[in-house]
């Protein structure tokens, strides 16, 4: 073989499929172009080819792979792999059992296995080292390449769960590649979001079929993927994820600067939100010097995201059609504009949970905001919620801090858990990702977290859409901020502004009706006065 099995580079793994070759190309021309442009491993996967032809093809592809010193893996056909002395084999769950495969190919060959569920990792761990060398984790996203798939797309969260199981079972020898529906528009996000909770593992590479095999210029396609893998940073916003402020004084100065920028830029805040919130949210947005638009038109999402200083608030309280929500997420991610996600009533019903999970797997959110019930459920720390209200949880501050950090870590976002105390955790890691080593040991418990407190404001719970409008406030400040701002600072400023306004309104109102009006007045006055140094709230940094 000429190289050690342990040193195999899994970073860019091409799986072939001759049924999708564009006109004027051949299996060999595509593989060669890919090898020239950074592919590090090749799997010959030709499901509809007769044995004789398969062997001829395998020998040709093997010549190319040898020329570029890249290992060749044969899909499913152990006999062909042995006949041509390939470097390894890849089998699926319904193919020959792994112990038999290993027995036939011997200890030196690479053995790969397709894995879609954590329990399959349990089996792999029981076999121990020396059986499976790497797993293909999939499918990540929908793909038309795999005919009659027996599993559903698992999204980045599903990949992370498999990485977690590998860590829990101490299967340190097993390498991983993600596969299924991977293309340049989602690979950075997959590399960024998929890490084990212990911070020690991310995928060792990505595996693609159509992105290279069906490309009219396979070399350019491979080079593009190579560049993404080597970049190491996912810039999901068009402003930098720079260092955050460290003390109250600086934070309040930053808040002043952010409000000035919002005043100057008058951001467009695109709301896709529930019916109860629409009118109030639009008025809150106007009070904060910003322009609301309540659009659920799929076709205009891209135009809106392209407006300078646009931001999206996605609130799933009453649910817009899924294709509208997905188009909006795609558009704001593509234009690198902020998205605030408010998963109202997450896990209150199976339908809501499925919808919210689908949305969470199809994009990168700048901020995820929820009440204690929603954040606990998203963190996997609570049972079913009752309705959409924050359930009076028995848990104390420590549990909510833990849940907020878990949500921030899982979704690599700024997580906000609202309530009497607002908890804000920063899991963005400045957009950094690396193959294999995860977040380099950083875990949820290590994430920066700030508590904002301003005394209890019970009347907040007596009006509709008060929590939803915190989402509007965060979106206004994120949308209006300039290049040098830090997202954590911006979200903390927005939470503090909203809390101070709530307190002020509660002292001025006569009941819940006038509280509604006073809250808008207070936001308007605090925003236009722009004097955060006078804000009464406390910040505690953890
Ligand atoms: N295996 P594309 S998905 C070959 O889930 C294969 O195990 C999968 O093709 C799995 O890159 C898949 O064109 C097809 O989406 C991936």
Q: Whose CA is nearest to atom 16 of ligand 1?
A: 180
| CATH no., domain 248-541 | 3.40.1190.20
Tens place of pLDDT per residue across the chain (542 aa): 556 888 999 999 999 999 999 999 999 999 999 999 999 999 999 888 889 999 999 999 999 999 999 999 999 999 999 999 999 999 999 999 999 999 999 999 999 999 999 999 999 999 999 999 999 999 999 999 988 888 899 999 999 999 999 999 999 999 999 999 999 999 999 999 999 999 999 999 999 999 999 999 999 999 999 999 999 999 999 877 777 777 888 889 889 999 999 999 999 999 999 889 999 999 999 999 999 999 999 999 999 999 999 999 999 877 788 999 999 999 999 999 999 999 988 878 888 888 999 999 999 999 999 999 999 999 998 754 555 455 545 678 999 999 999 999 999 999 999 999 999 999 999 999 999 999 999 999 999 999 999 988 999 988 988 889 999 999 999 999 987 778 999 999 999 999 999 999 999 999 999 999 999 999 999 999 999 999 988 888 88
- Cα-to-centroid distance, 391 and ligand 1 (Å): 41
Q: pLDDT at position 48, please?
A: 80
CB 326 within 8 A of CB 153: no
Taking the C-alpha atoms of residue 433 and residue 189, their distance in angstroms, rounded to an integer, is: 9
3-class state of residue 81 by DSSP: helix
CB 301 within 8 A of CB 265: no
3-class state of residue 351 by DSSP: helix
CA separation (Å) from 114 to 94, 123, 161, 239, 395? 10, 13, 15, 38, 40
Q: Which of 428, 429, 487, 423 is nearest to 450 (CA)?
A: 423
Class of domain 5-231: alpha beta
Q: Where are the domains of the chain?
A: 5-231, 248-541
Pairing of strands 88-91, 421-426: unpaired
- Cα-to-centroid distance, 50 and ligand 1 (Å): 21
- With 0-12 CB in 10 A as exposed, 13-18 as middle and 19+ as buried, what is 26? exposed
- With 0-12 CB in 10 A as exposed, 13-18 as middle and 19+ as buried, what is 511? exposed
User: Angle 487-508/512-529 helices, nearest 10 degrees?
Assistant: 130
The ligand 1 atom at the shortest distance from the C-alpha of residue 139 is 5
- Cα-to-centroid distance, 310 and ligand 1 (Å): 35
Q: Where are the beta strands (DSSP E) in 55-203?
A: 72-75, 88-91, 110-115, 134-137, 175-179
CB 506 within 8 A of CB 536: no
- Cα-to-centroid distance, 459 and ligand 1 (Å): 52
Q: Whose CA is nearest to atom 7 of ligand 1?
A: 138
The ligand 1 atom at the shortest distance from the C-alpha of residue 143 is 15
Q: Whose CA is nearest to atom 3 of ligand 1?
A: 180
- Cα-to-centroid distance, 44 and ligand 1 (Å): 13
Catalytic residues: 468
ipTM > 0.90 (yes/no): yes
- Cα-to-centroid distance, 83 and ligand 1 (Å): 26
The ligand 1 atom at the shortest distance from the C-alpha of residue 207 is 11
Q: Where are the beta strands (DSSP E) in 358-408?
A: 367-371
Mutate to test the pocket of ligand 1, among 116, 142, 146 (most ligand atoms within 8 A of CB): 146
CA separation (Å) from 106 to 121, 206, 246, 437? 22, 26, 57, 29
- Cα-to-centroid distance, 17 and ligand 1 (Å): 10
Ligand 1: lining residues by beta carbon, under 6 Å: 15, 114, 136, 138-139, 143, 145-146, 179-182, 208-211
Do 5-231 and 248-541 show the same overall fold? no
CB 201 within 8 A of CB 433: no
The ligand 1 atom at the shortest distance from the C-alpha of residue 210 is 13
The ligand 1 atom at the shortest distance from the C-alpha of residue 181 is 15
Mutate to test the pocket of ligand 1, among 209, 210, 218 (most ligand atoms within 8 A of CB): 209
CB 115 within 8 A of CB 150: no
> How many separate helices (H) and strands (E) can be counted in the chain?
19, 17
Taking the C-alpha atoms of residue 22 and residue 251, their distance in angstroms, rounded to an integer, is: 55
Contacts of 147 (CB under 8 A, 6+ apart): 47
Read off the DSSP letter of residue 298: G
Taking the C-alpha atoms of residue 162 and residue 124, their distance in angstroms, rounded to an integer, is: 12
How far is residue 456 CA from its own chain's centroid?
A: 33
Mutate to test the pocket of ligand 1, among 46, 143, 184 (most ligand atoms within 8 A of CB): 143
Q: pLDDT at position 536, please?
A: 86
Tokens of 385: 């919620």
Neighbour count for residue 68 (Cβ, 10 Å): 14
The ligand 1 atom at the shortest distance from the C-alpha of residue 213 is 13
CA separation (Å) from 405 to 159, 416, 514? 20, 9, 36
CA separation (Å) from 276 to 281, 452, 483? 9, 26, 33
Half-sphere exposure of 477 (CA within 13 A, CB side): 29
């Amino acid at each position: 073989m000429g190289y050690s099995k342990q040193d195999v580079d899994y970073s860019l793994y091409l799986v072939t499929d001759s049924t999708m070759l564009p006109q004027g190309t051949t299996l060999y021309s595509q593989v060669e172009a890919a090898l020239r442009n950074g592919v590090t491993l090749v799997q010959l996967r030709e499901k509809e080819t007769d044995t004789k032809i398969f062997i001829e093809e395998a020998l040709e592809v093997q010549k190319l792979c040898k020329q570029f010193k890249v290992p060749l893996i044969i899909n499913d056909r152990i006999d062909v792999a042995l006949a041509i002395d390939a470097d390894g084999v890849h089998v699926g769950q319904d193919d020959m059992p792994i112990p038999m495969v290993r027995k036939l190919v011997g200890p030196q060959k690479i053995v790969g296995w397709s894995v879609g569920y954590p329990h399959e990792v349990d089996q792999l761990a029981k076999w121990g080292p020396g059986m499976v060398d790497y797993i293909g984790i999939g499918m990540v996203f929908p793909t038309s390449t795999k005919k009659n798939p027996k599993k559903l797309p698992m999204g980045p969260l599903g990949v992370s769960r498999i990485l977690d199981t590998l860590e829990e079972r101490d299967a340190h020898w097993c390498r991983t590649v993600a596969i299924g529906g991977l293309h340049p528009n989602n690979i950075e996000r997959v590399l960024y979001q998929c890490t084990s909770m212990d911070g020690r593992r991310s995928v060792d590479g990505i595996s693609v079929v159509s992105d290279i095999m069906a490309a009219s210029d396979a070399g350019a396609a491979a080079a593009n993927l190579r560049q993404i893998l080597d970049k190491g940073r996912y810039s999901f916003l068009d402003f930098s994820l720079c260092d955050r402020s460290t003390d109250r004084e600086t934070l309040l100065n930053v808040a002043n600067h952010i409000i000035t920028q919002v005043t100057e830029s008058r951001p467009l805040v695109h709301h896709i939100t529930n019916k109860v919130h629409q009118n109030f949210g639009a008025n809150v947005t106007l009070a904060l010097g910003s322009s609301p638009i309540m659009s659920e038109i799929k076709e205009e999402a891209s135009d809106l995201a392209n407006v300078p200083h646009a931001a999206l608030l996605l609130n799933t309280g009453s649910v817009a059609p899924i294709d509208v929500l997905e188009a909006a997420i795609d558009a704001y991610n593509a234009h690198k504009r902020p998205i605030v996600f408010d998963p109202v009533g997450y896990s209150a019903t199976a339908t809501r949970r499925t919808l919210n999970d689908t949305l969470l797997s199809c994009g990168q959110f700048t901020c995820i905001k929820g009440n204690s019930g929603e954040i606990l459920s998203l963190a996997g720390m609570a049972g079913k919620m009752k309705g959409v209200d924050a359930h009076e949880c028995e848990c104390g501050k420590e549990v909510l801090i833990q849940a907020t950090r878990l949500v921030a870590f899982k979704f690599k976002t700024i997580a906000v858990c609202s309530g009497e105390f607002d908890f804000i955790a920063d899991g963005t890691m400045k957009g950094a990702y690396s193959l294999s080593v995860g977040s380099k040991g950083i875990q949820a418990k290590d994430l920066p977290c700030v508590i904002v407190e301003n005394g209890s404001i019970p009347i907040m719970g007596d009006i509709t859409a008060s929590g939803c409008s915190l989402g509007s406030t965060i979106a206004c400040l994120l949308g209006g901020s300039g290049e040098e701002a830090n997202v954590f600072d911006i979200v903390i400023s927005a939470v503090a502004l909203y809390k101070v306004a709530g307190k002020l309104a509660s002292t001025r109102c006569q009941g819940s009706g006038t509280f509604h009006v006073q809250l808008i007045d207070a936001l308007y006055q605090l925003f236009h006065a722009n004097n955060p140094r006078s804000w009464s709230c406390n910040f505690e940094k953890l």
